Chain A
Amino acid sequence: SQQGEEDPQALSIQEGENATMNCSYKTSINNLQWYRQNSGRGLVHLILIRSNEREKHSGRLRVTLDTSKKSSSLLITASRAADTASYFCATSNSGGYQKVTFGTGTKLQVIP
């Protein structure tokens, strides 16, 4: 079963524009992570935000977390064609072991 649901399912933007993806989850978490996947291959870890953090930046990425609403957003600024990929949010539970549960993904297309 999926813990997270990303919104939108698909997003198409022009190069240079900003892309925003949202993620909602159901249960309490230890942290939330975002991953990128190119062409159905391995996932690449982008950024991790802990449950006691509200915002985090990494290069052109900005992630926010609202634990009261059980939601997160990923903003990619000044998008490039190379950002074209699927993006997944993943939550790590608060239990005894770190089970990471992935959402359904947002497919981002950046048009040159």
Chain B
Amino acid sequence: ETGVTQSPTHLIKTRGQQVTLRCSSQSGHNTVSWYQQALGQGPQFIFQYYREEENGRGNFPPRFSGLQFPNYSSELNVNALELDDSALYLCASSTRERSYGYTFGSGTRLTVV
């Protein structure tokens, strides 16, 4: 059984640029959720994908978008980066039909300068 892997681990981007973060879900999991965690804060829910469809979204603007692929891997895209987008981005996979909690990846640390 594989865990959740995220890439890259660290990234530095310039304000206004676009970024794509990637996540490979745990084997057998059909749901992926993305979170943003600012320093010293709890993770904030961005959105969730289930079977390639977005089925829930937090209070984030449309420039945050995502994809889930047939193999349940996922991408988070952020356009027009702002300084406040600097954070740890966490991907979590789960099985919608069973409430056993999330399996998290180690995260991508994004710094916007």
Q: Which residues of A contact B (CB under 8 A)?
A: 1-2, 4, 30-31, 33, 35, 40-45, 48, 50, 88, 92, 96-105
Contacts and interface: CB of A to CB of B under 8 A. Distances in A.
30 contacts: A1-B59, A2-B42, A31-B99, A33-B101, A33-B102, A35-B102, A35-B104, A40-B88, A40-B107, A41-B106, A42-B4, A42-B90, A43-B90, A43-B104, A44-B104, A45-B100, A45-B104, A88-B43, A92-B99, A97-B48, A97-B50, A97-B96, A98-B96, A98-B99, A99-B45, A99-B56, A101-B45, A102-B43, A102-B45, A105-B41
B74 interface: no
B55 interface: yes
Interface residues of B, number: 32
Given A98-B94, A98-B96, A100-B33, A45 B56 contact: no
Contacts of A102: 35, 42-45
Contacts of B43: 43, 88, 102
B105 interface: yes
A90 to B, nearest CB: 8
Contacts of B45: 99-102
The 8 nearest A-B residue pairs measured at CB:
A45-B101, A102-B42, A42-B104, A42-B106, A43-B104, A102-B43, A97-B56, A97-B55
Interface of B: 4, 31, 33, 35, 37, 39, 41-45, 48, 50, 55-56, 58-59, 88, 90, 92, 94, 96, 99-107, 109
Contacts of B4: 42
A93 to B, nearest CB: 9
A97 B95 CA distance: 11
A50 B98 CA distance: 12
